[in-house]
Amino acid sequence: MPPRTTPTERQKRLGFELRRMRTAAGLSTEYAAGLLGLDRGKISNIESGIRVITPERLRTLASHYACADQQYIDALAAMSNERERGWWERFRGELAIGLLDIAELEWHAARLLTSQVMHLPGLLQTESYARAIFEGVLPPRPRLEVELHVAHRMQRQQVIEREQDPLDYTGYIHEAALRMQFGGKTVMKEQLNHLLVMSERENIALRVVPVETGAFPGAGHAMLFAEGPVPQLDTVQLDSAGGPSFWYAESQLARFRAQLDWMDQAALDPSQSRDFIHRIASDL
């Protein structure tokens, strides 16, 4: 199979894990190439996500790398065996690649947690609220591009709304995000009422962080924490002006886990949070 020209973030992650496994074993790319009967360049391409690897070859490498974590190996083998195109591929060439990578990350996650400061969680937004956000940029987006962004965001929501195995979702929402009136009072009231409806689902927990809490970790950015099938495959996605960034080094994951632990201790419980959201909606 020819090399990919633009590997997805998930494909890059598989290559990263193979490289991490190899270097942890203290072995060279030449050694790995010899195991698979490939040249060194192809091993480098596999570890960059540019070239595919079969589950059988992946297991061969893991065995010679002396990796004893069978669940981890099975999870990587499942990643290497993915061939189906996800729904997000319909937007390729129309939206930024990073947005497709977010959708793919959410689709394959075992559980989702998010921390939001200015905007409400994307997976819980109404069309009108999302449209107001996508329109509020400079230079203004063309109408078609705005509608593509809205359609993509609405499609992403199926991971928590689907009938079969909806993902468990926890959203930590700062009070500031509940009070920012994107789209005006009518749109915001509809949005807050939608939050209340969604918070009644068994798989969704919303936790409000009141402004009285004061300073808090991660105040400068929104954060999505996608738990993988094993902890080694957890991923954090952060928003930035240059597009989404993805973090998965162990030291980085530890920092973001600590941030979520702080939120868990500081935020109102789900019942108190619903009452809090209801009061804000009633005031609009």
User: Cα-flanking dihedrals φ and ψ of residue 86, to 5°?
Assistant: -75, 165
Whether the predicted pLDDT of 1 surpasses 80: no
- Res. 219 pLDDT band, cuts 50 70 90: confident
The rounded distance, in Å, linking the Cα atoms of 26 and 158 is 42
- The chain-wide mean pLDDT, for the chain, equals 95
The predicted pLDDT at position 221 comes to: 84
pLDDT tens-place string over residues 36-81: 999 999 999 999 999 999 999 999 999 999 999 999 999 999 999 9
Whether the predicted pLDDT of 207 surpasses 60: yes
Would you give the end-to-end CA distance of the chain in angstroms? Answer: 57
The predicted pLDDT at position 243 comes to: 84
Task: Give the residue extent of every domain in the chain.
Answer: 9-80, 96-283
Domain spanning 9-80: CATH superfamily: lambda repressor-like DNA-binding domains (1.10.260.40)
Tell me the β-bridge partners of 168. 111
pLDDT tens-place string over residues 239-270: 887 789 999 999 999 999 999 999 999 999 99
Tell me the three state secondary structure of residue 267: coil
The predicted pLDDT at position 2 comes to: 52
pLDDT tens-place string over residues 164-187: 999 999 999 999 999 999 999 999
CA 184 vs. chain centroid, Å, equals 28
DSSP state letters, 61-113: HHHHTT---HHHHHHHHHHHT--SPPGGGGGBTTB-HHHHHHHHHHHH-SEEE
Whether the predicted pLDDT of 235 surpasses 60: yes
Contact 203, 166 (CB under 8 A): yes
- Res. 4 pLDDT band, cuts 50 70 90: low
Task: Confirm or reject CATH 3.30.870.10 for domain 96-283, answering yes or no.
Answer: yes
DSSP state letters, 126-192: -HHHHHHHHHSSSSPPPHHHHHHHHHHHHHHTHHHH-SSSPPEEEEEEEHHHHH--TT-HHHHHHHH
